[in-house]
Amino acid sequence: MQSRSTLSNSPIPDDGEAVSVRRPVERFHLGQNVHDEDWIASEIPLALHYNDHAHVVMMATPMDLEDFALGFSLSEAIIESAEEFESVSVHQRLEGFELSVRIPEARVEAIAQRQRNLSGRSSCGLCGTQQLEDVVRHPPRVGRGPMVPGANLHRALAALDSAQPLNSRTGATHAAAWADSGGNLMLVREDVGRHNALDKLIGAMAKRAVAVDGGFLVLTSRASYEMVQKAATVGISLVVAISAPTALAIHLAESTGVTLIGFARATSHVIYTHPDRIGQAGS
């Protein structure tokens, strides 16, 4: 399994990686039915094991899986740095994929103490969490981060559509993107699950040692609590979402120092927390 190394316009992986499939459909338009075929995004079980201990099963798109394993480990505070991510091996099984990760044994013991053996879905990052404190986890306050003129937010958003080849084909995936402070897209990752797309992006950034204080995060989804939590955990200070935030996401962003923006469009956006990082939209 090879991960993409570039940000955008990179080809969709071969169908051998099963990221999308063709299926027969009946199209109805202007009173007529047409027999046709459509590209459908794949969604498969993905089992994550740490030091041979089963931890979580997610539903995900089978691409950029090594990025996902590293990003999930960081965003869920299973490890503190990419240096603790010793190795990952990807195994294709009949039912899906198994990711076998090696991390320091002390980190595995900490997982057991948290009592998190969760079974997740692509739309849910908390399914199966056993303890309330595991849900409402407050990351440390983020650093100062960059100052970004509003126009640069819009520049990144304008470039994002063409940087999502799988969504262009299927219309079924979310994207998480990293842009520099000038609004230039640096990395993009896609998945049927918004949490998975963000974890893939975080992993890709960690592998390339991308500094989190040099840019901002763009999400093609709502800004839920879990998305802000993952971003703050790795130190991202500016989160831009095309849809709305939740009240709990705003609360977490306020308390961790994250600038949270929702309803981001080509010419407009709404700032919910810490507006001092954002210049005027025309600046």
Query: In the chain, at which residue ranges do the beta strands (DSSP E only) sit?
Result: 20-29, 32-41, 44-50, 53-60, 87-92, 97-102, 118-119, 174-180, 185-191, 215-219, 238-241, 259-262, 270-271
Q: What is the CA radius of gyration of the chain?
A: 19
8 Å CB contact between 280 and 269? no
Closest CA to 66 of 47, 90, 85: 90
What is the total residue count of the chain? 283
Strands 174-180 and 185-191: antiparallel
Q: Which of 47, 124, 151, 271 is catalytic?
A: 124
Question: Do residues 258 and 270 lie in contact, with contact meaning Cβ atoms separated by under 8 Å?
Answer: no
Residue given tokens 């503190």 in the structure block: 80
Buried b / exposed e along 176-202 (16+ C-beta atoms within 10 A):
bbbbbbebebbbbbbbbbbbbbbbbbb
Angle formed at CA 251 by CA 80 and CA 271, multiple of 5 degrees: 100
What does the block give as tokens for 271?
């700032």
Tokens matching residue 171: 């219309």
Residue 124 bears catalytic tag: yes
Catalytically active residues, by annotation = 124
